[in-house]
Amino acid sequence: MGRGPRAWVLERLDRWLTPEQRRLPPEELWRYRALLGATGLLMLLNGLYLLTIPLHPPAQRLAQGLVAGLAMGVYVLVLVLARRLPSPTVPSYLLCSALSAGFILGTLPWDTQGTVSHAVGMLLPALAVYLLGPRRGFFFTTLLIVYVGLGHQLYHSGFGQVRPLFQNPAVWMGNIITSLSLLMGWALSWLYNAVREESHGVLERALKTLHENESKLLSVLESTEDVVLALDTEGRVITANQKARLLFQRFQGRSLEAGASFLEMSSPALQAQFRQALEGSRVRAEEHTVLGGRSLTVDIILNPVWEGGRVVGATLFSRDISERKEAEARLAELHRNLVEVSRHAGMAEIATGVLHNVGNTLNSVNVSANLVVERLRGSRVTGLERAVELLRENASRLGTFLEEDARGRQFPAYLAALSGQLTQERESVLEELRRLVESVDHIKSVVSMQQQHARFAGVVERVEVPGLLDDAMRLHAVSYERLGIQLRREYSAPVSAVMVDRHKLLQILVNLLSNARHALVDSGRADKQLTLRVAQAGERLSIAVADNGVGIAPENLARLFTQGFTTKKDGHGFGLHFSALSAEEMGGTLRCESEGPGQGATFTLELPLQGEGVRPTL
């Protein structure tokens, strides 16, 4: 497509300027262009005027020729100065002065009506205001107004000596109107110049603000570690930040130029996401790629660029998140390991409770067995054996022995006494055996309960919380009785069953009961009291374990469920942390309240009745 006339004219004008002048600010550059254009047009008019000189009266040809020639020389001088001087002010003064002098000298010889109303005179106010400003332009305009309104007619009337000054009122009136027209021309030029300068000032300020904001934005984009690209609707690169250019140079071995096709370097998935962005949607995705032999995961955001209600392109922001993904994977693995360790710690807590209660019961079994052995060793059964032996020895004379022998006469009383003693021994041994059987049954109950709950690890089922809480209590029942801990149960009725992992819930309850036992023992109180509460509120069930033990300091409450934190000398810091994680996995929460040291503590576990994200196991 060919260039328009405006571009053609500006190119010709700029050829006359030096490279330094062509780099001037727009306002100064346009003054140079106006100066050159006006000078060229005046030279053209002056040339045409030279062609009309032969038509003038012979007496005036020489003078008119000299004036036209002098004007042409001045115009040439203006062009030379415009190219050589760093400012167009001096050439503009010279041009306006030459134009004024040429107009005056060209019209002064003529004494006809309308001579000074020539259209050439109207060029001076507009040109002077544009090139020199309103004040300097007003000087030349005033000079021309004085000449047109007074000077021309005063000269031809000889200041009233050749003819009366106002002999021809029509000429005077025409000249005055021309003067007013020149003044109006200056005023309109000044008004246009003022509006243009104001608009130019607003535009300059807007451009300055725009450039500053653009500079700040570019600074931000260049300083970021993210890849930033601007793409057109065809997927071609419009602009790219330094990070994008460096990566492209590093992995592609060539520069990322504007106009390069980004889609040719993209995967089919990214191309589809780019098309979604062109439809007006903001797209965010993760892209897995291999660059330089290294596997990378990048986060990509595509935003549509709107203009006039339509999408004209898209911006792409990309960041390498490989390290973050690796860190997340390591954190997930660490979390799994921590949960497993915490779970094992919880299982060890239950095992410790089982062994503790079994050990206490075994003490009773040992005592009962020793008593049975001692009583059997001291039994009067040996006396019965001697009595039987005595009867055998006197079997042939049994009647005589019982009636005449002193030992025989005592034999019935001896048997009666021996029978009573053996009966007492039997009752005593039976009582100890009964206690022994009860202890063994308790051991079997504890072991059986632990095995029963262990079979359900990881399985979600409907659990009756009061019954499970009683099972957890049985693990500590012997130690509670031995330590003098008073137990209170406050179960509200009715309480719905909950859908939970029975094993996880049991571990939490055992851990809370174990902590309460330690807190009560360490407190040294005589009135040790443990309270269990179960209540239902809507679709959530709360289980509270409250004690009046040592309590918890306020500064420790915030860290209580942190992994590794413990206030016990032999604690490992896993129990409460695991309990909190397990409660969260079951969709519940675990919290603690304490008024301070010596004021006891209350641990409250809240669970949803139906669980979260789980289905019941039938």
Looking at residue 604, its pLDDT comes to 93
Of 84-98, 140-154, 564-578, minimum mean pLDDT range: 564-578
Is the pLDDT at 444 greater than 70? The verdict is: no
283-291 vs 294-307, strand pairing mode? antiparallel
**Strand 529-537 relative to strand 540-547: parallel, antiparallel, unpaired?**
antiparallel
The reply to whether 456-608 shares the fold of 224-320 is no
Q: Report the pLDDT averaged over residues 445-453.
A: 59
357 is written with which tokens? 């209660």
Which tokens belong to 321? 């998140």
Averaged pLDDT, 176-194: 84
List all residues 6 or more positions away from 193 whose beta carbon is below 8 Å from its beta carbon: 129, 130, 133, 134
Q: Find the mean pLDDT for residues 88-108.
A: 84
Mean pLDDT value of segment 313-317: 86
> What pLDDT was estimated at residue 546?
93
Least confident of 250-264, 308-322, 529-543, 592-606: 250-264
Q: Could you report the per-residue pLDDT of 327-346, keeping only the tens digit for each?
A: 888 888 877 777 677 666 66
Q: Out of 137-141, 257-261, 440-444, 602-606, which region has the weakest mean confidence (pLDDT)? A: 440-444
Q: What is the DSSP string of 262-316?
A: SGGGS-HHHHHHHHHHHTT--EEEEEEEEETTEEEEEEEEEEEEEETTEEEEEEE
pLDDT band (50, 70, 90) for residue 602: very high
Q: Is 422 helix (H, G, I), strand (E, B) or coil?
A: helix
Q: What gap in Å lies between CA 287 and CA 320, rounded to an integer?
A: 10
Which of 169-178, 238-247, 285-294 has the least mean pLDDT?
Answer: 285-294
Q: What is the pLDDT of residues 108-155, one digit of tens each?
A: 777 777 777 777 777 788 888 888 888 888 898 898 888 888 888 888
**Distance of alpha carbon 366 from alpha carbon 359, whole angstroms:** 10
Q: Is the pLDDT of residue 581 over 70?
A: yes
- Tell me the HSE value of 39 on the side-chain side, using a 13 A CA sphere: 29
More confident residue, 87 or 368: 87
Q: Specify the fold of 224-320.
A: Beta-Lactamase (3.30.450)
pLDDT value at residue 531: 92
Inform me whether the pLDDT recorded for 93 exceeds 70.
Answer: yes
pLDDT reported for residue 614: 45
At 613 the pLDDT is: 44
Residue 610 confidence (pLDDT) = 78
Q: In this structure, are residues 321 and 301 in contact, taking their beta carbons and an 8 Å threshold?
A: no
160: alpha, beta or left? (left if phi > 0; alpha if psi -120 to 50): left
Q: Provide mean pLDDT across the span 96-113.
A: 80
* CA torsion angle 498 504 509 513 (round to 10): 180
Residue 317: in which H helix or E strand, if any?
strand 310-320
Q: How far is CA 575 from CA 24, 303, 476, 480, 563, in A?
A: 78, 48, 17, 20, 9
Percent of the chain with pLDDT over 70: 83
As a 3-state breakdown, the chain gives helix, strand, coil percent values, each rounded to 5, of 65, 15, 20
Of the candidates 258, 268, 243, the one whose C-alpha atom is nearest the C-alpha of residue 313 is 258
- Whether the pLDDT of residue 370 is over 80: the answer is no
Strands 529-537 and 486-491, sheet pairing: parallel
Please report which residue ranges of 405-501 form alpha helices under DSSP H. 406-454, 465-474, 477-483
pTM over 0.75: no
Q: For residue 517, give the nearest of 561, 556, 558, 568 by alpha carbon.
A: 568
> Distance between CA 545 and CA 512 in Å, rounded?
7
pLDDT at 454: 52
Phi and psi of 606, rounded to 5°? -110, 135
In this structure, what token pair is assigned to residue 399? 């009647």
- The 3-state DSSP class for residue 114 equals coil
Identify the CATH number of the domain defined by range 456-608.
Answer: 3.30.565.10
Is residue 490 helix, strand or coil?
strand
Assigned token pair, 537 = 């509120």
Average pLDDT over residues 432-460: 62
Phi and psi, residue 542, nearest 5°: -115, 140
Mean pLDDT of the chain: 78
Say what the pLDDT of residue 348 is: 65
CA angle 134, 135, 136 (to 5 degrees): 100
Domain coordinates in residue numbering, the chain: 5-203, 224-320, 344-449, 456-608
CA distance 300 to 295: 16
Stated as kind and residue range, the H or E segment containing 387 is helix 381-393
Burial of 474 (0-12, 13-18, 19+ CB in 10 A): middle
Query: What was the pLDDT predicted at 445?
Result: 60
Interval 366-386 mean pLDDT? 71
Q: The tokens of 135 are what?
A: 């004040």
| Residue whose token pair is 């032969």 | 54
Check whether 579 has a pLDDT greater than 60: yes
Which of 293-307, 414-428, 543-557 has maximum average pLDDT? 543-557
Percentage of residues in the chain with pLDDT exceeding 90?
A: 3
Amino acid at 419: S
The most distant pair of C-alpha atoms in the chain lies apart, rounded to whole Å, by 209
pLDDT at 310 over 80: yes
Does residue 289 register a pLDDT over 60? yes
Q: 194-203, 419-428, 433-442, 602-611: which range is least confident on average?
A: 433-442
- Give the Cα separation of 604 and 89 in Å (integer): 89
- The reported pLDDT for the residue numbered 547 is 92
Peptide bond into 304 cis (omega under 30): no
Nearest to 65 by CA among 49, 81, 76, 85: 49
